[in-house]
């Protein structure tokens, strides 16, 4: 699925009247099958961008095309159908507490199902082997029939990622998929997701606070700040200076400790390896 944004602006639905837009004058294109990471300080508009791309938040200005079609001009049934081909994985996956892991994972298929089929799947998990396989790829197969409220935060996050694997979507929009994972698990989880996306030609847009991880795994990086596009570069071209500008006055979001990280980062114009891992929270 390809994406085109031209001079796009978006306001958060709960924002004050007259508040600055969460996204302003955003123009970019993403081709089918591309993998793009979106980085930037807290409040930059990363989640808002994913919500716009997921057709969950209509732009207040500008043009937004998915596969060369303006989704918000489609009739309701066609828009619903289009949403079935998109998958938005929020940072905290919406996992009902008493639900079994197997049901939560299979819920990845719900957006592509009709109402009756999806209701039935809540009571009778339809494809347990597929759920097992997806969980196994995140080292969680043994939790298949566990209740989600008995999982750790990191395990829940991995259930959310296994759910993404089940989503037969053409566009994965993944919001901070690694925030609760240790560096080794984060790298493994990201590789699993991106390998699966590559196999299926799925377009991926992911927001990440771990800049080292973004640079190591995504060929293209978009830097957002205050709702505006600061840069849109191949990862090899994202220099220490570019990052310093993006995070200027948000240095507290940088941690000068790369020892826990496992991604080797090479900056083209920085002879020494970078000593910064970025986190927002």
Ligand X SMILES: Nc1ncnc2c1ncn2[C@@H]1O[C@H](COP(=O)(O)OP(=O)(O)OP(=O)(O)O)[C@@H](O)[C@H]1O
Give the binding range for ligand X (CB under 6 A) out of 39-47, 109-117, 136-144, 158-166. Answer: 39-47
Under the binding rule (CB under 6 A), the answer on residue 22 touching ligand X is yes
Nearer to ligand X, 53 or 131 (CB): 53
Under the binding rule (CB under 6 A), the answer on residue 201 touching ligand X is no
**Residues 230, 225: Cα–Cα separation, whole Å:** 6
Give the binding range for ligand X (CB under 6 A) out of 25-33, 45-53, 78-86, 231-239. Answer: 45-53
**Residues 184, 189: Cα–Cα separation, whole Å:** 9
Give the binding range for ligand X (CB under 6 A) out of 42-50, 65-73, 131-139, 236-244. Answer: 42-50
Please pick, from the candidates 35, 46, 156, 158, the single residue that binds ligand X as defined by CB under 6 A. Answer: 46
Residue found by looking up tokens 């390998």 in the block: 195
Which positions from 2 through 21 interact with ligand X, judged by CB under 6 A? 12, 14-15
Please pick, from the candidates 3, 8, 44, 134, the single residue that binds ligand X as defined by CB under 6 A. Answer: 44
Nearer to ligand X, 12 or 147 (CB): 12
Binder of residue 171, out of ligand X, Mg ion, none (CB less than 5 to 8 A by kind): none
Binder of residue 42, out of Mg ion, ligand X, none (CB less than 5 to 8 A by kind): ligand X
Query: Least Å distance between CB 48 and Mg ion?
Result: 8
**Residues 230, 105: Cα–Cα separation, whole Å:** 36
Give the closest residue to 178 by CA, choosing from 112, 263, 244, 103: 263
**Residues 29, 250: Cα–Cα separation, whole Å:** 28
Tokens of 46: 């990363």
Query: Least Å distance between CB 202 and ligand X?
Result: 22
Query: Least Å distance between CB 116 and ligand X?
Result: 34
Under the binding rule (CB under 6 A), the answer on residue 48 touching ligand X is yes
Under the binding rule (CB under 5 A), the answer on residue 47 touching Mg ion is yes
Nearer to ligand X, 80 or 252 (CB): 252
Nearer to ligand X, 103 or 207 (CB): 207
Under the binding rule (CB under 6 A), the answer on residue 210 touching ligand X is no
Under the binding rule (CB under 5 A), the answer on residue 179 touching Mg ion is no
Rg for the chain, CA atoms, rounded: 19
Binding site for ligand X (CB under 6 A): 12, 14-15, 22, 40, 42-48, 280
Binding site for Mg ion (CB under 5 A): 46-47
């Amino acid at each position: 699925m390809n994406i085109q944004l031209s001079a796009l602006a978006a306001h958060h639905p709960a924002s004050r009247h007259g508040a600055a837009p969460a996204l302003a004058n955003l123009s970019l294109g993403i081709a089918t099958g591309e993998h793009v990471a979106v980085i930037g300080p807290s409040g930059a508009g990363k989640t808002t961008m994913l919500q716009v791309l997921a057709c969950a938040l209509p732009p207040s200005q500008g043009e937004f095309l998915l596969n060369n079609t303006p989704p918000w001009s489609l009739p309701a049934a066609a828009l619903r159908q289009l949403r079935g081909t998109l998958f938005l994985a929020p940072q905290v996956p919406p996992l009902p507490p008493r639900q079994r892991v197997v049901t939560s994972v299979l819920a990845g298929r719900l957006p592509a199902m009709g109402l009756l089929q999806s209701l039935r799947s809540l009571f009778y998990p339809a494809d347990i082997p597929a759920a097992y396989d997806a969980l196994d790829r995140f080292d969680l197969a043994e939790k298949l029939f566990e209740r989600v409220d008995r999982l750790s935060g990191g395990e829940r996050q991995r259930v959310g990622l296994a759910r993404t694997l089940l989503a037969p979507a053409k566009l994965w929009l993944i919001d901070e998929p690694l925030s609760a994972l240790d560096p080794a698990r984060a790298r493994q989880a990201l590789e699993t997701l991106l390998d699966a996306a590559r196999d299926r030609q799925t377009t991926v847009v992911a927001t990440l606070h771990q800049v080292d991880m973004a640079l190591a795994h995504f060929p293209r990086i978009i830097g957002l700040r205050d709702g505006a596009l600061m840069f849109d570069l191949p990862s090899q071209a994202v220099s220490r200076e570019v990052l310093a500008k993006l995070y200027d006055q948000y240095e507290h979001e940088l941690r000068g400790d790369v020892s826990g990280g496992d991604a080797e980062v090479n900056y083209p114009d920085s002879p020494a390896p970078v000593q910064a891992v970025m986190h927002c929270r």
